[in-house]
Amino acid sequence: MVTYDPTFNSHIERMAYRRWFEVLWRPVLIAVATVAVVLLIIVTASLPAWSILGAGRGLVPEQLYPLSGFFLVLGLTIGHTIVWGIGSVAVCYALTLAGYKPAWETARNAMAGVYLLVGPIALLVFHALYGGWLLGMPRVGLEEWLAENHPDARWFLVYAHPAVDFSLIPLAAIFLLVLWKYGDRIERETPLQAVLALTVLGTSLAVVLSLAMHSMLVHTRIGL
């Protein structure tokens, strides 16, 4: 007679988690380092914009606003990615409870669905519910004021903002292509894992950067 052994099952689960950690830590570390370097370049090229944001106002000196903005955006980017990971696991588990097989196809569907929900769809909803009102704020003289007082912030807030938003399209396309085309090869091949991690973190960075830019625009209008 076969009996249920919870201790044995718990041991198997720990082995599975350990195996996934051993597989994923390298590509995740590569992706985090890459995103951090890209963000550092962006912040360095647009220091006045981050001075407008004033991250850490009242806690750090003004000259450190760009540095605090860098760590704030990087932290939120990593946090957003963690939300995607936790959401993917939760949805995958819910699907197995609903009768779907605990297989790669189920995990893939969960990962793709949560990615679209917390990435492109979330930013689209933000623009529809809030961004429209924000972009409708009086802007007469805004570009000229930025050109005179914060010339580096002008290109970042006026011209780079749409590029950041639309970058979600190729990022999502690459993510879904890798996820759906290469299947369980992702578990075995580090380059595919790195590409997948980069697209997820890149998407999180684009979402957080877009929200930060909206916050900078608000600060320019209300004089903070």
Q: Residue 102 corresponds to which tokens in the numbers above?
A: 């605990």
Q: How far apart are CA 87 and CA 93, in angstroms?
A: 10
- Tell me, yes or no, whether 1 lies in a domain: no
Cα distances (angstroms) measured from residue 163 to each of 147, 170, 220:
19, 11, 20
For 148, residues 6+ apart whose C-beta sits below 8 A from its C-beta are none
Question: What is the rounded average pLDDT of the residues 127-150?
Answer: 64
Cβ–Cβ under 8 Å, residues 179 and 107 = no
- Tell me, yes or no, whether 28 lies in a domain: yes
Please give the mean pLDDT across all residues of the chain: 80
Q: How many domains does the chain have?
A: 1
Q: How confident is the model at residue 132 (pLDDT cuts 50, 70, 90)?
A: low
- Tell me, yes or no, whether 62 lies in a domain: yes
SS3 60: strand
Q: Residue 25 corresponds to which tokens in the numbers above?
A: 């830590």
Q: Residue 208 corresponds to which tokens in the numbers above?
A: 């957080």
Q: How far apart are CA 87 and CA 114, in angstroms?
A: 6
Structural domain range at position 165: 6-222
pLDDT for the residue numbered 9: 41
Residue 114 has pLDDT above 70, yes or no: yes
